[in-house]
């Protein structure tokens, strides 16, 4: 009979709740079903609805579910208001946020100790620990009692007994509440009971859960915490979706939180739950300390780096979540700071300033420090990055990363602009090598490449960094050069590599090292920051373009001892070029492609000690480097470049320094000019050069010993002329030429890109 009656009661109350749907709630909750024992030992049954929607107004129906006689037929609203708090070990009260509250109507049987709580309304306490519920269509009077749970239906704290009873605390009972009345309930629980301790645990868990919901936009999978947990530590069981929290005093120093107040530990364990949900954990277990290299401890690199990542992420997750809700948590000791505080520690562990920073990618503390610095507002020496909550969440939780190495590569791909900025921290915490240093910085020159060295680091005695690439950057941070794999901690650039650095359009260069650990599984590469800027060895950079319309180009420059100049030269047209120096200085020319490969060079093929290069190239950019052959002395020279065309058939002569023949017919070719030489003799010291052409001609006469710029003044060593004889012909008159000197003559149309044709060069 009793069984039958109970079943009737249960089915009736379920029907009652499902049909009437009552409730004030700020979130949608899954239903639970629980049975609990009152502190008085009387049996109480509670049935929660299967589904509760977010409706503002609560309605109750006047249904006699228990079979007891209704005390009144009056129907109307009853208003229930509640204020919930928990009191910490310092005696400070805090609002009990987000917990599930069920308003019950308590019925007793003829003054017996047995009573039944009829669930009437369920709601969730707000951020101030308050709730207000209007029960419409209530059939008063009711005996109102609020049951406050340690959590909600997504995260709840349960006892460790076999039935896993949910913790709750009942308010005082307000008897005979009549329709139209307002009831004010308060629940305030200190830490002298396990119920109170469970409430505090729930606050840590709900904070963690809410943060995940904020970041992901959805409620994570449910989990429960058992307290007092069994075993020798706090932990998380994936198969049971259970967080186990020990009951333990912080007896070590008396200055740290007890276990139930160790929010950092509790939220860390919840972090493991989320790691599994997100697929960012592959932990094999084993011990873990902040200040060890887990790969060394386990003697297994993969296990070690997976362990350290999962533990570090869980720790930082908790601290970031506390920071997110800092305004709510500011009065709780050990919460919302940069310290990881555990009941079992003898001191606080500051992840902002991790003292032991030699453990690298398998060091839990080191990873914590790097992650925290990426998240927080960078104010430290090695920290200039502030990702903030959402970006930090996204970059640490996506794509199933399970090690720090996987994380950093994901970070690099998402934030290429921070590759080197995070490097300072990676070096500081030993993931990356130290910054590269130049051992021979005083000796480097054009022909002496720098030698770099660094300390491998890596954090592990057994699995250190052992493979490296050296990366060279220009002034703007663009990569100039990346070496191949280096298996030592020192490297001298090859001459080709050095050339590539030297010809880069930048006065300075910097360098970083990318480190890998190749033993067991490959990890890395971890970029260092860039080293201080290093000025190239007394280099001058210039850029110029040789246009289709150009007839003759020159640049005059003085170099001091050891200096050189790189002309980044772009040719718009033409195939063959003459590149030569003029003046009395002993110069040499080197031509490189933009990858630093040497294409051509010359020391003394020009006039006197000058250099001369004939180069057959398609329109492209090359680096023309000019320096004095003896780099201990300085000097001035002129660099001249002309477009020419090798085509004997049409009589175009150029760099073989052939004399021109007086009055002989020649032709010009599109985009090109003609170059000749003239050697002054006793009989030809005062000359007049004229061009007889069927196009608008232009004429240059260059003294190869001079660094004077070209001029229209015939009295200057290097002269030019446009229109001379007639309206179209060029003419130059030169007197007092030096016998034996080979002068250079350039003949071309006014605009080589549009004009060409036949001409004769006449001398008198």
Partner 1 sequence: MKKLIGIMLTLLMSLGFVFCMACGQNGGTGGGTADDPYAHIPAEYRFKLPVEEYEPDRVCGDTSTGEACAYRSSKTEFDKNDVTLSFYFGTYFVYDDAQTQLERSPFRDYPFLDLYCKAYKPVGTLFEQTGEHFIKRNNGRYISEHYDKYKAIFVCNSHWQLTEIIFNTKEVIKIPAELFTESEGFISFQIRAPHLLDENNIQTFNSVIINYRLEEDKVIIQDDMKIQY
Site for partner 1, rule CB under 8 A: 192-194, 197, 228-239, 246-249, 251-253, 258, 265, 268-269, 272, 276, 281, 283-293, 296-300, 303, 307, 310-311, 315, 340, 342, 344-347, 349, 355-356, 358, 364, 461
The total of other beta-carbon atoms located within 10 Å of residue 355's CB is 10
Query: Helix, strand or coil for residue 665?
Result: strand
CB 165 → partner 1: shortest distance, Å?
A: 16
Cβ nearer to partner 1, comparing 358 with 573: 358
Please compute Rg for the chain using Cα positions.
43
Question: Which residues contact residue 301 at a Cβ distance below 8 angstroms, ignoring those fewer than 6 apart?
Answer: 295, 362, 460, 462, 463, 517, 519, 520, 521, 523
Closer to partner 1 by CB, 355 or 561: give it.
355
Q: Which is nearer to partner 1, 217 or 231 (CB)?
A: 231
Tokens linked to 657: 């320094």
Minimum separation from the CB atom of position 248 to partner 1 (A) = 6
Please state, as a whole number, how many other Cβ atoms lie within 10 Å of the Cβ of residue 648: 7
287 vs 448, beta carbon nearer partner 1? 287
d(CA 566, CA 541): 5
CB of 67 to partner 1, least distance (A): 37
Tell me how far, at minimum, the Cβ of 238 lies from partner 1, in Å.
4
Shortest distance, position 204 Cβ to partner 1, whole Å: 13
For partner 1, give the closer residue by CB, 112 or 161: 161
Q: Across the strands, what pairs with 166?
A: 158
- Residue identified by tokens 């209530």 is 138
Q: Which CB atom, from 253 or from 447, has the smaller least distance to partner 1?
A: 253
Distance of CA 320 to the CA centre of its chain: 18
The nearer residue to partner 1, 135 or 314, going by C-beta atoms, is: 314
> What values do phi and psi take at 682, rounded to 5?
-55, -30
Quick one: 262 or 587, whose CB is closer to partner 1? Answer: 262
CB of 283 to partner 1, least distance (A): 6
Give 342 or 528: the residue with its C-beta nearer to partner 1.
Answer: 342
- The dihedral over CA atoms of 732, 733, 736, 739, expressed in degrees to the nearest 10, equals 50
CA 555 to chain centre: 45
* Cβ-based burial of 625 (10 A; exposed 0-12, middle 13-18, buried ≥19): buried
In this complex, which beta carbon is closest to partner 1, that of residue 344 or of residue 758?
344
Q: Which is nearer to partner 1, 291 or 647 (CB)?
A: 291
| The two three-digit tokens of residue 655, written as one number | 């760099």
Of the two residues 111 and 232, which places its CB atom closer to partner 1 in the complex? Answer: 232
Structure tokens at 631: 């780099």
Q: For 165-191, give the secondary structure using H, E and C.
A: CECEEECCCEEEECCCCEEEEEEEECC
State whether residue 603 is helix, strand or coil: coil
Whichever of 275 and 376 has its CB closer to partner 1, that residue is 275
| In the complex, minimum distance from the CB of residue 393 to partner 1, in angstroms, rounded to a whole number | 20
Rounded least distance, CB 367 to partner 1, Å: 12
Smallest gap from Cβ 83 to partner 1, in A, equals 25
* CB nearer partner 1, residue 294 or residue 373: 294
What angle, rounded to 10 degrees, do the helices at 194-216 and 301-324 form? 100
- Beta carbons within 8 Å of 725's beta carbon, 6+ residues apart: 690, 692, 731
What is the smallest separation between the CB atom of 236 and partner 1, expressed in angstroms? 5
- Tell me the closest approach of the beta carbon of residue 249 to partner 1, in angstroms: 5
Q: Which residues contact 3 (CB under 8 A, 6 or more apart)?
A: none
DSSP annotation of 652 reads B
The H or E element spanning position 237 is strand 235-237
User: Could you give the angle at the alpha carbon of 140 between the alpha carbons of 139 and 142, nearest 5°?
Assistant: 115
Task: Pick between residue 292 and residue 497 the one whose CB is nearest to partner 1.
Answer: 292
Q: Nearer to partner 1 by C-beta: 464 or 574?
A: 464
Considering the complex, state which of residue 291 and residue 352 has its C-beta at the smaller distance from partner 1.
Answer: 291
3-class DSSP state of 286: coil
Min CB(461)–partner 1 separation in Å: 6
Q: How far is the CB of 340 from partner 1 (least distance, A)?
A: 7
Which neighbouring-strand residues pair with 681?
684
Longest CA–CA span in the chain (Å) reads: 145
Least spacing, CB of residue 275 vs partner 1, in Å = 8
DSSP 31-94: --EEEEE-TTS-EEEEE--SEE---SSEE------SSPPPS---EEEEEEEEEEEEE-TTS-EE
Q: Measure the CA angle with vertex 297, ends 292 and 303; round to 5°.
A: 105
| CA angle, residues 138, 139, 140, in degrees to nearest 5 | 105
H or E element: which one contains 658? Answer: none
370: which 2 tokens? 């790097």
Rank residues 252 and 494 by Cβ distance to partner 1 and give the closer one.
Answer: 252
Residues 132 and 160: beta-carbon distance below 8 Å: no
| Residue in 328, 86, 377 with CA at minimum distance from that of residue 211 | 328
CB of 506 to partner 1, least distance (A): 41
- Joined tokens for residue 269: 């364990």
Q: Are 378 and 369 in contact (CB under 8 A)?
A: no
**In the complex, what is the shortest distance from the CB of residue 459 to partner 1, in angstroms, rounded to a whole number?**
9
Q: Minimum CB separation from partner 1 for residue 266, in Å?
A: 9
Residues 275/257, Cβ–Cβ less than 8 Å: no
CB 671 within 8 A of CB 643: yes
CB of 190 to partner 1, least distance (A): 10
Residues 349 and 340 sit within 8 Å (Cβ to Cβ): yes
């Amino acid at each position: 009979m009793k069984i039958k009656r109970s079943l009737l009661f249960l089915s009736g109350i379920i029907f009652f709740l499902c049909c009437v749907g009552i409730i004030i709630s700020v979130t949608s909750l899954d239903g639970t079903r629980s049975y609990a024992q009152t502190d008085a030992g009387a049996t109480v049954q509670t049935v929660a609805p299967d589904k509760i929607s977010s409706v503002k107004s609560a309605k109750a129906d006047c249904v006699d579910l228990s079979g007891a006689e209704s005390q009144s037929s009056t129907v109307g609203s009853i208003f229930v208001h509640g204020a919930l708090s928990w009191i910490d070990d310092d005696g400070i009260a805090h609002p009990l946020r987000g917990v599930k509250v069920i308003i019950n109507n308590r019925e007793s049987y003829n003054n017996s100790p047995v009573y039944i709580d009829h669930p009437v309304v369920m709601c969730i306490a707000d951020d101030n620990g308050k709730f207000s519920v209007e029960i419409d269509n209530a059939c008063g009077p009711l005996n109102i009692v609020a049951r406050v749970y340690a959590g909600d239906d997504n995260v709840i704290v349960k006892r460790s007994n076999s039935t896993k009873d949910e913790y709750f605390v009942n308010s005082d009972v307000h008897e005979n509440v009549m329709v139209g009345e307002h009831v004010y309930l308060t629940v305030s629980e200190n830490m002298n009971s396990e119920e109170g301790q469970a409430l505090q645990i729930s606050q840590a868990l709900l904070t963690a859960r809410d943060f995940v919901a904020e970041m992901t936009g959805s409620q994570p999978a449910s989990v429960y915490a058992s307290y007092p947990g069994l075993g020798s530590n706090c932990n998380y069981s994936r198969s049971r979706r259970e967080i186990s929290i020990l009951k333990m005093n912080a007896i070590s120093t008396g200055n740290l939180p007890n276990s139930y107040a160790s929010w950092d530990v509790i939220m860390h364990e919840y972090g493991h739950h989320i790691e599994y949900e997100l697929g960012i954990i592959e932990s094999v277990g084993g011990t873990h300390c902040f200040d060890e290299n887990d790969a060394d401890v386990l003697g297994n690199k993969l296990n070690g780096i997976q362990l350290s990542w999962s533990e570090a992420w869980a720790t930082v997750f908790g601290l970031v979540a506390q920071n997110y809700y800092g305004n709510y948590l500011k009065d709780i000791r050990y919460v919302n700071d940069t310290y990881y505080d555990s009941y079992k520690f003898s001191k606080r562990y500051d992840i902002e300033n991790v003292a032991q920073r030699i453990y690298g990618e398998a060091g839990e503390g080191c990873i914590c420090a790097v992650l925290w610095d990426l998240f927080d507002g960078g104010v430290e020496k090695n920290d200039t990055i502030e990702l903030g909550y959402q970006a930090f969440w996204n970059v640490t939780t996506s794509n199933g990363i399970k090690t720090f190495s996987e994380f950093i590569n994901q970070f690099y791909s998402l934030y290429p602009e921070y590759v080197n900025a995070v490097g300072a921290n990676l070096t500081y915490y030993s993931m990356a090598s130290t910054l590269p240093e130049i051992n021979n910085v005083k000796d480097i020159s054009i022909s002496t490449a720098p030698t770099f060295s660094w300390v491998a680091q890596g954090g592990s005695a057994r699995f250190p960094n052992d493979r490296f690439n050296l990366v060279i950057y220009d002034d703007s941070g663009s990569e100039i050069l990346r070496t191949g794999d280096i298996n030592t901690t020192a490297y001298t650039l090859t001459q080709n590599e050095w050339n590539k650095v030297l010809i880069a359009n930048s006065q300075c260069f910097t360098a970083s090292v990318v480190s890998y650990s190749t033993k067991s599984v490959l990890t890395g590469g971890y970029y260092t920051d860039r080293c201080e800027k290093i000025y190239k060895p007394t280099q001058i950079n210039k850029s110029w373009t040789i246009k289709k319309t150009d007839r003759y180009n020159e640049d005059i420059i003085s170099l001091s001892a050891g200096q050189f100049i790189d002309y980044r030269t772009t040719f718009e047209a033409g195939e063959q070029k003459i590149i030569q120096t003029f003046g009395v200085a002993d110069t040499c020319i080197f031509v490189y492609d933009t990858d630093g490969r040497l294409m051509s060079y010359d020391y003394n093929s020009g006039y006197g000690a000058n250099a001369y290069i004939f180069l057959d190239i398609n329109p492209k950019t090359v680096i023309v480097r000019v320096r004095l052959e003896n780099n201990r002395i300085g000097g001035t020279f002129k660099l001249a470049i002309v477009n020419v065309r090798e085509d004997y058939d049409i009589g175009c002569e150029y760099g073989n320094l052939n004399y021109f023949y007086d009055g002989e017919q020649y032709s010009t070719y599109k985009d090109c000019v003609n170059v000749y030489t003239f050697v002054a003799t006793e009989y030809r010291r005062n000359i007049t050069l004229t061009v007889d052409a069927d196009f608008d001609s232009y004429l240059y006469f260059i003294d190869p010993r001079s660094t004077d710029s070209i001029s229209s003044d015939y009295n200057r060593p290097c002269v030019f002329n446009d229109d001379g004889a007639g309206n179209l012909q060029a003419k130059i008159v030169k007197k007092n030429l030096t016998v034996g000197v080979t002068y250079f003559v350039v003949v071309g149309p006014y605009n080589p890109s549009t004009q060409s044709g036949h001409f004769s060069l006449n001398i008198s």
